[in-house]
Homo-oligomer: A and B are copies of this chain.
Amino acid sequence: MTAVAGADTGAETSPPVAVETTPETGAAPDSEFLRETALRIRRHIVDMCAGPEGGHLGGSLSSADILTVLYFSVLRCDPAAPHDPARDVFLLSKGHGAIGLYATLAERGYFPVSELETYARPGGRLMGHPVRAVPGVEMPTGSLGHGLALGLGFALSARLASRTNRAFVLMGDGELQEGSCWEAAIAASAQGADNLVAVVDRNGLQLTGETEGIAPLEPMAERWRSFNWAVREVDGHDHEALREALASAPWEPGRPSLVVARTVKGQGLPMVAGKVHSHYATLSERMHARAVRALRAGER
């Protein structure tokens, strides 16, 4: 609850570089490394959903590859200097995907992987939605529709300080029913904030059903284009495609970038994949074991 230490208003620091090396090996993060990392993240997600309160399973799984690619081959960030003013900033606007973010941050070295066991357990700091007490979490989210405006704030901050760092924001597709997303979208393109990159986790499902059945969001890409954003659509589980799109942003000078990441809610777990009830799950021991087997099988 304390403000971030140190003013980020122009001091000269050498920017951290994106992980072009895997944390462990020093080698370039090849597809194998990313795949294994994403699998570990999914495994953590499943583990946390077997904890006392369960968790937002489906949306965390659908985001897992996006988070993996962001934190392991796109973001210029350094767990040892989480407040470095030159860092790229990431905001989980769909804050209910917290367990996916925690798993990613732990794997990336922001805090020990063992701490994931404390998720939703009294005494710990890993709450159901991200809070700033958790190393690597930039802003508390969880109420849908806040991330894009926050991201724009970070993006404008960097520009005012003549820095080249970027702000990345991950939104849910159902989240886009909130007007605040479009309000921020208008302001972002108006400000020409091309250091702002948003990703929509387009899994087609929200809490109670299909987005297109409840309040349609298609034609999604056209919507964003008509709001003067640069838009690309990718397979949200294809690491190379995600990396290519995210790392190369901005694609059009003066325009913020939007990646429509086509995903499957619950990706990796056939028993829930694409199903609306994947949204929140408390896994019994038996279900958890089945889920772990399914993850392993899927990866082979």
Contacts and interface: CB of A to CB of B under 8 A. Distances in A.
Interface of A: 145, 176-184, 186-187, 189-190, 214-217, 219, 222-223, 226-228
A223 B227 contact: yes
6 contacts: A145-B179, A179-B179, A179-B180, A179-B181, A179-B182, A226-B226
B216 A226 contact: no
A258 to B, nearest CB: 13
Contact of A215 (B180, B190, B226): B190
Nearest to A190: B215
A182 B223 CA distance: 11
Q: Which 4 A-B pairs have the closest CB atoms?
A: A179-B183, A179-B179, A190-B215, A182-B182
B190 A184 contact: no
Number of copies: 2
A177 B185 CA distance: 10
A227 B223 CA distance: 7
A222 B216 contact: no
Nearest to A149: B179
Contacts of A222: 222, 226
Nearest to A222: B226
A178 B180 CA distance: 8
A187 B180 CA distance: 14
Contact of A219 (B176, B178, B182, B226): B226
Nearest to A215: B190
B219 A190 contact: no
Given A216-B228, A226-B219, A226-B223, A178 B189 contact: no
A228 B179 CA distance: 16
Of A176, A179, A180, A215, which is in contact with the most chain B CB atoms at under 10 Å from its CB? A179
Contacts of A181: 179
Nearest to A189: B216
A178 B178 CA distance: 12
B177 A183 contact: yes
A214 B226 contact: no
Contacts of A186: 176-177, 179, 215-217
Contacts of A187: 177, 215
